[in-house]
A and B are shown apart, each in its own frame.
Chain A
Amino acid sequence: MNSGDIAWMLCASAMVLFMTPGLAIFYGGLVRSKNVLGTMMHSFIIMGVVSIMWVLYGYTMAFGPDMGGGLLGGAKYLGLAGVGADIGPYSDTIPHILFCAFQLMFAVITPALITGAFAERMKFSAFLIFTILWTTLVYFPVCHWVWGEGGWLRELGALDFAGGTVIHINSGIAALVCALFLGKRKGYGTEQMHPHNLPLTILGAGILWFGWFGFNAGSALAANGTASMALFVTQVAAGTGAVFWVIAEWIYQGKPTTLGAASGAVAGLVAITPAAGFVGPVASIMIGGVAGVLCYGAVVMKSRLGYDDALDVVGIHGVGGLWGALATGLFACEAFGGVNGLFYGNPKQFAIQAIGAVAAIAYSLILTAIILKVVDGVVGLRIDEEDEHQGLDLSQHSEVGYRIV
């Protein structure tokens, strides 16, 4: 045990948890005012639902001893049996329960990210069932593949420092399937659907940025040099993402927007996530800068392709996550802790990164489609037209976000 590591990981866990209400605020500002509470509720209630799942069976599915084949963790930690104040298999310096708590916060935010794709039109009951099934059948297994002892991608040597594949590609692809499956919001393309409160979104982006230091630097699982470098490159990639998104839109559409700056920062953060412990400061400028331009392009393309990914989960988390996973295979450098990537003479690492990304894309794509089909059959995914017109806040929750008189 190391009290410095324990102190840092306690703080990092709290910082990662804070990202989910941050995401609620980020998303909440982007929807129309009649849906602000329903949208925030998606993220908020997941903090409760996934916590229960994690204790009962989630942690053991993800981090239990491998059942064989590297696909799923065994039942050893069912109900967190034997997971306590002692050292566990994932770190020699912090209590097992603290590693479990830190990882819980990742399991919370991943399904919350997806909610941006089906914003403003999904039934609350359908959302809950979808979230439980998706987290169980997609997140826990993929988490095991990449981070669990004996997980097949981990054994293969795939690098994913803080969750580019597990969290961002995974949720980004699920978001794409959700957007296609649910269809467009009523009035998409004809009515104006402006964000109703961008200052809220900017605040949310700031909270995400702050929490991301816990997310990336905490993934070192120790208060050490790797954590310090991870924190540093996180800052640089986020800032570069913001600057390059703004430059791209300024050139292409003539105006630098605050929403562009906030979105670019998140794109940079997404892209640096898998690379954080393996790359240096100059590489983080490249990773963040490309993420800013690439994700802006993806978001602009969305309207041409015609799917209604309401809050751009695909364009930012899917595309940014994919770029980050591949970039890790390009820029990884042994000097910073991992192995060498393509640019340091090791093309094999790039291939491994690509395999990891493709596996996550294929699995998330197929499983998400099946889950949506089942949920649609059981309760129906979409709220009815009148409720959609009225908004989620009143129709699903009998509340309103803002009262003028």
Chain B
Amino acid sequence: MKKIEAIIKPFKVDDIKEALNEIGIKGMTLTEVKGYGRQKGHKEIYRGAEYVVDFIPKVRIEVVVEDQQADQVVNTIREAANTGKIGDGKIFVIPVEDVVRVRTGERGPEAV
């Protein structure tokens, strides 16, 4: 199993969710995060004082899938999240050792 972790622009969340639904992904976890990479931060002004804010709000989506579906999920997210502009985000693919469904105690791919 693989965990796909995508850091994306917040306004792309709905597009990605729909795209993943279409390829049969039934669940995901979403976190509001902040960070920066090649996209520069922004300026804020409060009563004449200017602040440069490095950390930009992003959303992190986590999806766990079976190995053979990982590429399809990565591509789907990439297509849905792409605006062509700097700051579109990153996708990480991480191996997952085991999954346990809390309610039933099922393990492995059935529990996803």
Contacts and interface: CB of A to CB of B under 8 A. Distances in A.
The prevalent SS among residues of A at the interface is helix
A300 B51 contact: no
B53 interface: yes
Contacts of A312: 47
* Tier of interface size on chain A: 10 to 19
A257 interface: yes
Interface in A232-252: 249, 252
A299 B49 CA distance: 9
A303 B44 CA distance: 16
B47 A192 contact: no
B104 to A, nearest CB: 26
B50 A253 contact: yes
Interface string B43-81: 011111111010000000000000000000000000000
B54 to A, nearest CB: 10
A299 B48 contact: yes
A303 B49 CA distance: 8
A312 B44 CA distance: 18
Interface string A133-146: 00000000000000
B44 A194 contact: yes
Interface in A279-313: 296, 299-300, 303, 312
Nearest to A297: B48
A357 B46 CA distance: 30
A296 B46 CA distance: 11
Contacts, number: 28
Interface in B21-54: 44-51, 53
Contacts of B51: 192, 194
B96 to A, nearest CB: 26
A330 B55 CA distance: 50
A259 B46 contact: yes
Interface string A249-291: 1001101010110010000000000000000000000000000
A1 B97 CA distance: 86
Contacts of B53: 192
A257 B49 contact: no
Contacts of A259: 46-47
Nearest to B44: A194
A195 B46 contact: yes
B47 A299 contact: yes
B46 A303 contact: no
B21 to A, nearest CB: 28
B48 A303 contact: yes
Nearest to B54: A192
A36 to B, nearest CB: 16
A252 B47 CA distance: 12
A255 B47 CA distance: 11
A263 B48 CA distance: 11
Interface string A299-340: 110010000000010000000000000000000000000000
Contacts of A195: 46
A255 B45 contact: yes
A175 to B, nearest CB: 15
Interface in A67-103: none
A120 B90 CA distance: 39
Given A192-B51, A194-B51, A249 B45 contact: yes
Nearest to B48: A300
Nearest to A195: B46
Contacts of B50: 253
Contacts of A296: 47-48
A312 B46 CA distance: 11
A49 B53 CA distance: 41
Nearest to A300: B48
B48 A253 contact: yes
Interface string A374-397: 000000000000000000000000
A199 B45 CA distance: 15
A252 B48 CA distance: 9
A260 B47 contact: yes
Interface in A32-71: none
A224 B6 CA distance: 67
Given A192-B53, A194-B51, A253-B48, 19 more contacts: A192-B51, A194-B44, A194-B46, A249-B45, A249-B48, A252-B48, A253-B45, A253-B50, A257-B46, A257-B47, A259-B46, A260-B47, A296-B47, A296-B48, A299-B47, A299-B48, A300-B48, A303-B49, A312-B47
22 contacts: A192-B51, A192-B53, A194-B44, A194-B46, A194-B51, A249-B45, A249-B48, A252-B48, A253-B45, A253-B48, A253-B50, A255-B45, A257-B45, A257-B46, A259-B47, A260-B47, A263-B47, A296-B47, A296-B48, A299-B47, A300-B48, A312-B47
- Can you list the 4 inter-chain pairs with the closest CB atoms, starting with the nearest? A300-B48, A299-B47, A192-B51, A299-B48
